Amino acid sequence: MNSAIHTTTGHSPYFAFFGRHLPRMVRHRLPCVEGAEGKIEIAHQTIHEAHRKVTAEYQSVANRKRGEQKMEVGSLVWIRKETTLPNTCRKLDSKWEGPYKVVGVLAGHSVYVLENPFT
C-alpha cells in the first residue's frame, strides 16, 4: 500500500510522507567470499550478473508500461513535463511539450537525442 500511486495526489503515501521514493527490494543475495583472491573475482562476476538481471527486469517492466515503444531517427515525439510553471494552476497547465524530432538513438533504445524542428 505504501508504494501504490494514489490517484488524487499522483504520489505514493511513502513519497508524500518521506519526500523520497520507496527503496527497491533486493532480489538476489550477495555471495559470501572468504579466503583467496580468486574467489573475489567469482563474487564480482556473480554480483555483476545479478545486477544485469535486475536491471533487465526493471527495464522490462518499464517497457511493458509504455507499450514496448521504440522510436526511430526522424520520429516526432512529445515529452511529458514533470513540473509545472510557477504561479500556474496545475490542472490547466500543459502537461506535454513538443513535438521534438529524434536525431539519435543511444543505449539500445533507452536514450534519445532530440531537437526542436521548429527552431
* pLDDT interval class at 33 (50, 70, 90): low
Same-domain check for residues 98 and 61: no
The number of angstroms, rounded, from the C-alpha of 29 to the middle of its chain's C-alpha atoms is 23
Coil vs helix vs strand at 58: helix
The confidence score (pLDDT) of residue 102 equals 93
42-63 tens-digit pLDDT: 778 888 888 888 888 888 877 7
Domain tally for the chain? 2
pTM for the whole thing? 0.40
Task: Provide the mean pLDDT of the chain.
Answer: 79
Cα(56)–Cα(62) distance, rounded to whole angstroms?
Answer: 10
Same-domain check for residues 22 and 46: yes
State the residue for C-alpha cell 500511486: 5
The confidence score (pLDDT) of residue 2 equals 63
Residue 30 in this model has a pLDDT that exceeds 90: no
Same-domain check for residues 60 and 84: no
The confidence score (pLDDT) of residue 1 equals 66
Cα(108)–Cα(14) distance, rounded to whole angstroms?
Answer: 32
Give residue 25's region: left, alpha or beta (phi > 0; psi -120 to 50).
Answer: beta
What secondary structure does DSSP assign to 20-53, as a single string?
A: SPPPPPP-SPPPP--S-HHHHHHHHHHHHHHHHH
Select the more confidently predicted residue: 20 or 117: 117
User: Is 99 domain-assigned?
Assistant: yes
The torsion of the CA quartet 67, 13, 25, 61, rounded to 10 degrees, works out to 0
Coil vs helix vs strand at 18: helix
Same-domain check for residues 80 and 56: no
Grid coordinates given for 112? 534519445
Same-domain check for residues 57 and 28: yes
Residue 21 in this model has a pLDDT that exceeds 80: no
Owning domain of residue 22 = 13-65
Domain end position, chosen among 24, 39, 65: 65
